[in-house]
Structure formats: C-alpha cells, structure tokens
Amino acid sequence: MSTIPVMIPWLGEEEAEAAAEAVRSGWVAQGPRVAAFERAFAEAVGVPHAVAVSSCTTALHLAMIGAGAGPGDEVVVPSLSFIATANAVTYVGATPVFADVDPVTGNLTPETVAPLLTDRTRAVVAVDQGGVPVDLDAIRALAEPRGITVVEDAACAAGSLLRGRPAGAGAEIAAYSFHPRKLLTTGEGGMVTCRDAGLAARLRRLREHGMSVSAADRHAGAGGAGVVETYDEIGFNHRMTDVQAAIGLVQLGKLPAMVARRRELAAHYRESLGRSWPPGWSTTRRTAAPTSSRSGCGCPRTPPTAARS
C-alpha cells in the first residue's frame, strides 16, 4: 500500500538561495523583502494593498478588527472550515454564527447566510473551501446593503480564479495562508489584502505593535532623524520575516505552474478514485456557473450536475 502525502511543498534551490541572500543581507526581520513581496502579491491578485503577516490566522484577526467586529457582534462563518476562521471571530470578542454550506462547492451561499443575519451581524467570513472560490459577489449583494462587511478567507485560494478574477480581489478585506499545506508557501505566513488605503495603513500598524512608524522605516531614517514613534492603539506582533518573504517572492513566480500541476493531479485522482467511489460520496466542485473559473485546489472542470451522489 502506498502513502499519498496531503501536500509536498514545491521548494527548490531558488528558494534556498533567496533565503540565504536574505540572511547574508543582515536584515532578517520585516524589511525590504517583505515590502517587495507585498507589492508583488498585490499586483498578482489585482488589489491596491497587501499587508504581510505571520499566518492566515493573524490575517483573519486583523480582518476582524478591520471589519469593526467586537463584543456583542455576530459574525457568520461557514460550518465547514478550518477552526481558525471561527477562532479569529472570538479573538475580538464577537460570536461566530455557523451557516450551512452548499454541498457541491463546500461554500456559503446567500440562501444559507440570509436566515442567520440579524441586527447584531457585523460581518460574514466567506471561505474559499479548499481553494474553490466562493461566489463572493452574491454574498456581498446580500450583506452590504445591510451594512455588513464581507471578509474573504482565501487561505487556500492564492492562484484561484472565479469569472477571471483572482480569489480575494473582489473583497473589501481578504486573508491568505502560506502554510506548507497551501500552494504557495513561506513556511508559515499570511497576507491580508484590502481596497481602502486608510485601512491598509491601520493594518500595517496593528501587525507591528501599533507603531506609528515601522522599525524598518525608522532604521531607514523615514520620518526624519531621531523620529520617535507613537502607539495610538493596542497592536500585535503579527510580522512576517524577510527570510519568509524572500521565499514567497520565488514561490509567487511559480504559482501558475503549481496551479496547473495541481489541476492535473486532481483530474488524475478523480479519474482513478471515481471508479471505486463508495455510494453517496462525491468531491467538492468549483462554483457551477462560469466556464472561465479555475481553482488553486485543482478541482477539475466537471460540472456539478455530473457529481456523483
């Protein structure tokens, strides 16, 4: 009997060399490579702002603060997700409310979310389950007229597209994971993206103890010689290191090839396992409607109507 690993990170000499260069540079904490990774990631996803953090869990924590969730608020999350999605809601003192998911995509839909919205609902966290992009626009159309923020938990979805748009690009705030079980890895790491410049600036401060001027900027003399930073709200140490970012920059360049390979593997598994599938079992599929979507999880193109049931 052979063992099939859940994931083998696609790491090689290029990543090793990039990490070594970061070490040789003498700057290993959050610095120029983190800034470069943020710019490259924002460009790849097509969002104005990307803030690198230590994990998707910390990205979700900042996203909850950005959404204004706090004690007394409810945040709708999928009943099917990794525990970090709901944990992040509790970090800010809000209450997670669990919504059913579509059995085909594994994702929230307006129909599963609508009955749970109350006047205490502050946000909805829509997960791209296994990298299958959630129909974010449909959730936003439901939530935003009621003043509810939709956060996309795109932990597994770097490289996924829906209707030609990268996962996370349509969200006010989105969170990504670079844990080795994901396609693009930095060892540990995450990214929070957003559309609002003021929010991005706040998230940058919050990930670094709430400092008004980052350590890297102070070192570079930004803000003038001898600038003294202020701490205007309670922050956290959610920083990414330059060693991680150096690896991430190489991995980002490989992402299209990694998505293509994962799709090939998914098709192979589906074909091979499909013949011996137990009755009632099926795999999740990408969202039904568009033909131009693609998923970082490699879910194949078979339409949901063909799903075994």
Active site residue ranges: 182
Distance from chain centroid for Cα 233: 25
Q: What is the contact surface with ligand PLP in residues (CB under 6 A)?
A: 55-57, 81-82, 84-85, 127, 153, 155-156, 177, 179, 181, 190
Instruction: Confirm if 189 and 240 have CB atoms less than 8 A apart.
Output: yes
CA–CA distance, 175 with 157 (Å, rounded to integer): 10
Q: Which two tokens stand for residue 34?
A: 């983190």
For residue 247, the SS3 value is helix
Q: Which is nearer to ligand PLP, 126 or 143 (CB)?
A: 126
Q: Which is nearer to ligand PLP, 27 or 296 (CB)?
A: 296
Instruction: Confirm if 97 and 121 have CB atoms less than 8 A apart.
Output: yes
Write down the least CB distance from residue 101 to ligand PLP, Å: 12
Write down the least CB distance from residue 84 to ligand PLP, Å: 4
Write down the least CB distance from residue 135 to ligand PLP, Å: 16
Burial of 138 (0-12, 13-18, 19+ CB in 10 A): middle
- Based on C-alpha coordinates, what's the Rg of the chain? 20
What distances in angstroms separate CA 64 from CA 57, 61, 298, one per listed residue? 11, 5, 29
Q: Which is nearer to ligand PLP, 244 or 293 (CB)?
A: 244
For the beta carbon of residue 269, count every other beta carbon within 10 angstroms: 14
Write down the least CB distance from residue 230 to ligand PLP, Å: 29
Q: Which is nearer to ligand PLP, 153 or 242 (CB)?
A: 153
Write down the least CB distance from residue 65 to ligand PLP, Å: 16
Q: Which is nearer to ligand PLP, 5 or 198 (CB)?
A: 5
Write down the least CB distance from residue 82 to ligand PLP, Å: 3
Q: Which is nearer to ligand PLP, 47 or 89 (CB)?
A: 89
Instruction: Confirm if 201 and 49 have CB atoms less than 8 A apart.
Output: no
Instruction: Confirm if 27 and 220 have CB atoms less than 8 A apart.
Output: no
Nearest to 124 by CA among 158, 91, 172, 164: 172
Partnered with residue 97 across adjacent β-strands are 76
